[in-house]
């Protein structure tokens, strides 16, 4: 993150002008020049570069949508900042007539202004359009100051705002943009994990593609409707974590609980009063909040360097967010079993020590995701910590059922579909339903994918 010297900035400007003249001479068509409005001597960081390429993506999409063809391009990524030059030509319905240079350039300028004004991030984009004669088209309206919203040139000329203020605002604009995009991705991924969990078959005692397990009030469609209704909730949890990352971790959890109550109402509204995902709302909502607290814009597309450490870091953040509150609630409860509250307070040991390792191991043996998920589910059931089992069958029967699952683990039968289906029959006959394990399986699916491909901290 080196500072650009004044001489380097001036030389970059001179090189850009030379490049512009060469493209104008060669193509005789308008140019689009894209740079970033960055205050201070540090013109290029990983964050700024990510924002630039996000702007390039927006520009490319807008030009294509409006039938503007890129004839040639020149890119630069240096200490003085990222730069992009396009020689462009309108290729729409009117292109066949004598299309005046000014008309063409004005049309393209309107496209660029729409990008600059479409989002907060666009306020950092400097999208100039240059006519064939080398004249830059000026905006009709002056752009606003990032800090106060007044005309920007006045603030800049009088140096109303410090460089530090402008840098801080710039960083927040970029970070917020990518956080919103990450929230959308989190919502998609968690929804997919919930859908994958209910479709995992066989899944002893629970709704799957074979049967409805020990349940008479729900089926796959009920779960799908619930997952759809909850889709936005996961992104909101991520953003709560992101926005409260500077606060005490318990404060984040308390905010998540408020949002969780709203999510429960949505679930019941979508299912006609059936509890499909209450445990997931609590557990996965906390996981998403933890990811938001830990999230670093990073903006790298490559895999996390250590997905296993990332999973444990998320689980530890969940523990720190919830431990004191959950322990107080468990002590004050008449129930002797820790259940989901103990699971999150202990840092998701079922997911970290059982679900993820077993799922990963079975995939490595050649199993597909469904078979690996079914095996991981049996391994989770073998822990004997599912309070849903205790509620339905009592402590003794729940322990006995966990022993059946544990025997399958011991006998290396986690990929034996017939054995799992036989366990399913026994659970159904006894009206047993390890719903808590289903929540842990959904977290397993989500963290497996998130930490392999999306984790950025």
CA end-to-end span of the chain: 19
Residue 300: what pLDDT? 47
pLDDT value at residue 304:
47
pLDDT at 302: 44
pLDDT at 259: 98
For position 337, what pLDDT does the model report?
77
Q: What pTM was computed for the model?
A: 0.88
User: Helix, strand or coil for residue 38?
Assistant: coil
- Beta strand 81-90 with 125-130 is unpaired
10-residue averages of pLDDT along the chain (457 residues): 88 93 94 95 93 96 96 94 96 64 87 95 96 89 83 76 90 94 96 98 98 96 98 98 96 98 98 97 98 76 65 96 94 78 96 97 98 98 93 93 97 98 97 96 97 63
Torsions phi, psi for 397 (to 5 deg): -70, -35
Amino acid 306: pLDDT: 75
DSSP secondary structure string for all residues of 190-252: HHHHHHHHHH-S--TTS--SS--TT-SS--HHHHHHHHHHTHHHHHHHHHHHHHTTTS-HHHH
Give the pLDDT score at 54.
96
Residue 293, CA distances (Å) to 144, 239, 243, 248, 411 in order: 31, 8, 8, 10, 41
81 in the Ramachandran plot: left (φ > 0), alpha (ψ -120 to 50) or beta?
A: left
Please say whether the beta carbons of 32 and 106 come within 8 A: no
The rounded distance, in Å, linking the Cα atoms of 234 and 402 is: 31
């Amino acid at each position: 993150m080196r500072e650009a010297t004044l001489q380097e900035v001036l030389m970059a400007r001179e090189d850009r002008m030379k490049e512009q003249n060469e493209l104008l001479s060669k193509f005789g068509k308008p140019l689009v020049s894209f740079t970033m409005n960055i205050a201070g001597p540090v013109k290029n960081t990983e964050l700024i570069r990510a924002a630039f390429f996000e702007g390039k993506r927006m520009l490319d999409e807008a030009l294509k949508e409006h039938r503007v063809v890129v004839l040639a391009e020149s890119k630069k990524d240096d200490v003085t900042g990222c730069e992009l030059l396009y020689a462009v030509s309108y290729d729409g319905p009117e292109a066949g007539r004598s299309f005046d240079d000014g008309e063409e350039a004005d049309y393209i300028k309107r496209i660029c202004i729409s990008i600059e004004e479409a989002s907060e991030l666009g306020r950092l984009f400097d999208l100039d359009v240059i006519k064939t004669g080398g004249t830059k088209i000026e905006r009709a309206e002056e752009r606003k100051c990032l800090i106060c919203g007044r005309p920007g040139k006045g603030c800049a000329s009088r140096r109303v705002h410090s460089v530090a203020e402008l840098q801080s605002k710039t960083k927040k604009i970029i970070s917020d943009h990518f956080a919103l995009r990450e929230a959308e991705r989190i919502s998609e991924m968690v929804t997919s994990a919930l859908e994958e969990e209910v479709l995992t078959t066989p899944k002893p005692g629970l709704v799957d593609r074979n049967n409805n397990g020990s349940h008479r009030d729900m089926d796959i469609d009920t779960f799908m409707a619930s997952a759809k209704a909850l889709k936005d909730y996961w992104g909101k949890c991520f953003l709560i974590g992101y926005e409260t990352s500077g606060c005490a971790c318990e404060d984040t959890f308390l905010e998540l609980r408020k949002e969780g109550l709203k999510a429960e109402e949505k679930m019941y509204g979508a299912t006609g009063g059936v509890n499909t995902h209450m445990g997931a709302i609590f557990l996965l909502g906390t996981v998403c909040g933890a990811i938001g607290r830990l999230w670093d814009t990073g903006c790298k597309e490559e895999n996390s360097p250590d997905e296993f450490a990332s999973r444990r870091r998320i689980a530890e953040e969940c523990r720190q967010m919830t431990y004191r509150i959950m322990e107080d609630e468990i002590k004050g409860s008449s129930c002797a079993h820790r259940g989901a509250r103990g699971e999150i307070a202990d840092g998701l040991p079922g997911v970290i020590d059982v679900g993820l390792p077993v799922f990963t191991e079975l995939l490595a043996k050649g199993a597909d995701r469904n078979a690996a998920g079914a095996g991981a589910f049996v391994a989770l059931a073998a822990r004997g910590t599912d309070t849903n089992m205790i509620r339905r069958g009592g402590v003794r029967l729940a322990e006995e059922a966990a022993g059946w699952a544990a025997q399958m683990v011991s006998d290396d039968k986690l990929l034996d579909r017939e054995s799992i289906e036989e366990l399913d029959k026994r659970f159904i006959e006894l009206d047993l339903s390890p719903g808590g394990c289903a929540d842990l399986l959904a977290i397993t699916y989500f963290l497996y994918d998130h930490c392999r491909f999306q984790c950025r901290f």
